[in-house]
């Protein structure tokens, strides 16, 4: 039975990038790199985004490129801003503008203008990237792949989650939340659903930003920020923040 489960999970696993804070500090050579804190990538004429709820500048948190399937070159650069005063969690009723994902299609270090989004509470740092694989959390497995969850329950009806995590690790998957680009979201409080603010269609998972002590970043009580994007509308981003 475990071999059957192993084959089923191998078919489900997805490749993603594990992002880890690396060297502290910032210089202009890192302008278009994946990184935490410091100044966001910006170009001449760009203004700092302001939260409409508290009228304070949004804090720049993280920037990253979306992998382009089948292409060697990195995709557009996404800069994530957030208001830590208002603490939006991604609900439809929240006032728009309390967070922002700003996309740059053709960023270049020579076009970088310093000073946007700096929050001195965070530690600017570069990041290391590693290709890894992950699986959905167990609740998502039950909701979307019930036949696979049933295999876990057949092996151990009292603790199918431990079986799932054990086999997942055996086939080389990361089973705990971490800052990642691509792959599956690893939910803390159960599967969320985020839709495009333009057309209302379900968004595709893009990345999750974990609480990172190396960057001085904490989402509530050791939480994660999940980012989604509409496949049709390039500005159709949505977020969800979950905590323990």
pLDDT tens per residue across span 10-33: 999 999 999 999 999 999 999 999
Evaluate whether 185 touches 208 at the Cβ level (below 8 Å). yes
pLDDT tens per residue across span 21-69: 999 999 999 999 999 999 999 999 999 999 999 999 999 999 999 765 5
Residue 197 CB neighbours (<10 A) = 15
- Who wins on pLDDT, 88 or 72? 88
pLDDT of residue 1: 63
Report how far residue 217's alpha carbon sits from residue 201's, in angstroms, rounded to the nearest whole number: 31
Could you give the residue ranges of the DSSP H alpha helices within the chain? 2-12, 138-144, 146-155, 160-170
pLDDT tens per residue across span 183-209: 999 999 888 878 888 888 889 999 999
Report how far residue 197's alpha carbon sits from residue 92's, in angstroms, rounded to the nearest whole number: 9
- DSSP secondary structure code for residue 56 in this structure: -
pLDDT of residue 112: 96
pLDDT tens per residue across span 146-159: 999 999 999 999 99
Phi then psi dihedrals of residue 144, to 5 deg: -105, -25
Evaluate whether 17 touches 128 at the Cβ level (below 8 Å). no
Q: What is the largest CA-CA distance in the chain?
A: 61
Q: What is the CATH number of the domain that holds 161?
A: 2.30.320.10
Count of domains observed in the chain = 1
pLDDT of residue 139: 93
Q: Please, what is the end-to-end C-alpha distance for the chain in angstroms?
A: 33
pLDDT of residue 71: 46
pTM: 0.93
Evaluate whether 151 touches 47 at the Cβ level (below 8 Å). no
Could you give the residue ranges of the DSSP H alpha helices within 82-227? 138-144, 146-155, 160-170
pLDDT tens per residue across span 109-149: 999 999 999 999 999 999 999 999 999 999 999 999 999 99
Average pLDDT, the chain: 92
Q: Which domain holds residue 104?
A: 2-242
Nearest CA among 110, 30, 40 for reference residue 80: 40
Which residues fall within 8 angstroms of residue 55, CB to CB, at 6 or more apart? Answer: none
- DSSP secondary structure code for residue 41 in this structure: P
pLDDT of residue 73: 47
As a whole number, mean pLDDT of residues 162-182 equals 94
- What the block records as the tokens of 17 is 């990038």
Report how far residue 82's alpha carbon sits from residue 100's, in angstroms, rounded to the nearest whole number: 6
């Amino acid at each position: 039975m475990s071999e059957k489960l192993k084959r089923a999970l191998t078919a489900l696993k997805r490749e993603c990038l594990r992002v880890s804070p690396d060297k502290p500090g910032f210089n202009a050579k890192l302008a278009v790199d994946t990184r935490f804190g410091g100044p966001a990538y910006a170009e001449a004429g760009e203004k700092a985004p302001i939260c409409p709820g508290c009228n304070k500048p949004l804090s720049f948190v993280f920037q990253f490129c979306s992998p382009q399937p089948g292409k060697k070159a990195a995709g557009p650069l996404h800069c994530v801003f957030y208001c830590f005063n208002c603490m939006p969690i991604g609900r439809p009723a929240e006032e728009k503008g309390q967070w922002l994902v700003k996309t740059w299609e053709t960023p270049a270090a020579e076009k970088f203008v310093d000073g946007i989004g700096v929050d001195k509470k965070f530690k600017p740092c570069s990041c290391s990237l590693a290709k890894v694989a992950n699986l959905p959390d167990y609740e998502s497995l039950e909701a979307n792949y019930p036949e696979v969850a049933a295999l876990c329950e057949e092996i151990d009806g009292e603790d199918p989650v431990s079986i799932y995590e054990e086999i997942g690790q055996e086939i080389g998957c990361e089973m705990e939340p971490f800052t990642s680009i691509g792959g599956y979201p690893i939910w803390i409080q159960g599967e969320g659903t985020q839709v495009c603010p333009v057309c209302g269609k379900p968004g595709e998972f893009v990345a999750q930003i974990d609480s990172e002590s190396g960057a001085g970043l904490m989402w509530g009580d050791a939480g994660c920020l999940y980012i989604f994007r509409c496949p049709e509308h390039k500005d159709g981003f949505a977020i969800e923040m979950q905590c323990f």
